[in-house]
């Protein structure tokens, strides 16, 4: 299977099979045509064509992340993407440039605000975004920059979404959009990630990821793929 093939995703099981086989699955459409769930979603499963108010593609997110222990986060120019457990260590290695977070900060490559948020998240993971904001004193009349720091930490692969939880009414029925729960890859994926993330040089990891993306995106040029990787 490649993203150039004609296929649709109509169930959580089909989504999980796609993540497992292709390794990198963006949620929303992006600058590479066809490279997303949005481009391949079955009729009735996207938010703008599901009359019932039930949006399957959204509802699959938490269960897919939990069952596969895959990475999910804003890895693609601020947009969400699933990355399989097989490929995330290499992707994280080159995005981190071989640094764990403490070493990155010590070398002056991370902001102090990002360090504070990362340490707060790491100490309380898994933690809901709204709880993390409260603990850190972020909000309308408090500290600023929560979303920007969290997006940077996801882009650098120090933070992932580990689940989505839903608010419940007084009868116990779930409602609304799922609230993102965050963790670190080390805590969420465990030793399978920790033992592999720095196994290669960042350059070797980048070359492996680029080669794989060229395989699953046969209609995209190498320069197009390199742009989205950075």
Domain of residue 216, residue span:
12-229
Question: Residue 167: what pLDDT?
Answer: 76
**Do residues 41 and 57 make contact, with C-beta atoms less than 8 angstroms apart?**
yes
- pLDDT per residue as tens digits for the range 87-106: 999 999 999 999 999 999 99
Number of domains into which the chain is organized: 1
Contact present, 65 and 162 (Cβ < 8 Å) = yes
In a domain, 5, yes or no: no
Sheet containing 160-168: give its strands across: 127-128, 174-183, 160-168
Give alpha helix (H) positions in the chain. Answer: 12-22, 37-40, 56-59, 61-68, 88-96, 101-106, 112-124, 129-136, 146-155, 185-189, 191-194, 202-216, 222-229
Which tens digit of pLDDT belongs to each residue from 46-56?
Answer: 876 545 556 88
- The torsion angle over the Cα atoms of residues 141, 184, 69 and 19, rounded to 10 degrees, is 80
* Residue 3 maps to a domain: no
pLDDT digits (tens, 9 = 90+) for 168-201: 778 777 777 789 999 999 999 999 999 999 999 9
pLDDT over 70 at 110, yes or no: yes
pLDDT above 90 for 85 = yes
Residue 88 burial (10 A CB sphere; 0-12, 13-18, 19+)? buried
Examine residue 178 and state whether it is found in any structural domain, yes or no. Answer: yes
118 is a domain residue:
yes
How far is the C-alpha of 70 from the C-alpha of 88, rounded, in Å? 8
> Is 148 within a domain?
yes
Residue 135 buriedness (CB in 10 A; 0-12 / 13-18 / 19+): middle
Over the stretch 4-35, which tens digit does the pLDDT of each residue have? 999 999 999 999 999 999 999 999 999 999 99
**Residue 139, pLDDT score:** 85
Q: Is 6 contained in some domain?
A: no
Q: Is residue 164 part of a domain?
A: yes
User: Is 175 within 8 Å of 168 (Cβ atoms)?
Assistant: yes
- In a domain, residue 43? The reply is yes
Q: Which DSSP symbol is given to 99?
A: -
Q: Which residue has the tokens 């779930």?
A: 174
Containing 164, the helix (H) or strand (E) segment is strand 160-168
Question: In this predicted structure, what is the pLDDT of residue 49?
Answer: 56
Percent of the chain whose pLDDT exceeds 90: 85
pLDDT tens digits for 115-136? 999 999 999 999 999 999 999 9
For residues 139 and 156, the answer to whether their CB atoms sit within 8 Å is no
- 87's tokens: 């490929």
């Amino acid at each position: 299977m490649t993203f150039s093939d004609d296929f649709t995703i109509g169930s959580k099981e089909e989504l999980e099979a796609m993540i497992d086989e292709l390794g990198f699955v963006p949620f929303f459409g992006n600058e590479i045509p066809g490279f997303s769930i949005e481009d391949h979603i079955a009729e009735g499963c996207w938010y703008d064509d599901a009359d019932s108010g039930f949006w399957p593609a959204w509802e699959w997110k938490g269960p897919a992340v939990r069952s596969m222990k895959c990475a999910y986060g804003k890895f693609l120019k601020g947009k969400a993407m699933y990355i399989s457990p097989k490929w995330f260590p290499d992707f994280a290695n080159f995005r981190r440039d071989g640094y764990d977070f403490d070493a990155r900060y010590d070398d002056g490559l991370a902001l102090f605000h990002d360090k504070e948020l990362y340490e707060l998240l790491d100490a309380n993971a898994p933690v809901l975004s709204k709880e993390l904001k409260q603990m850190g004193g972020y909000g309308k009349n408090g500290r600023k920059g929560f979303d920007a720091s969290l997006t940077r930490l996801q882009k650098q692969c120090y933070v992932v979404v580990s689940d989505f939880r839903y608010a419940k009414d007084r009868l116990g029925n779930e409602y609304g959009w799922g609230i993102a729960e965050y963790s670190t890859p080390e805590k969420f994926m465990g030793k399978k990630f920790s033992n592999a993330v720095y196994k290669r040089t960042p350059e070797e990891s980048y070359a492996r990821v680029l080669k794989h993306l060229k395989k699953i995106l046969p209609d995209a040029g190498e320069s197009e793929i390199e742009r989205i990787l950075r």
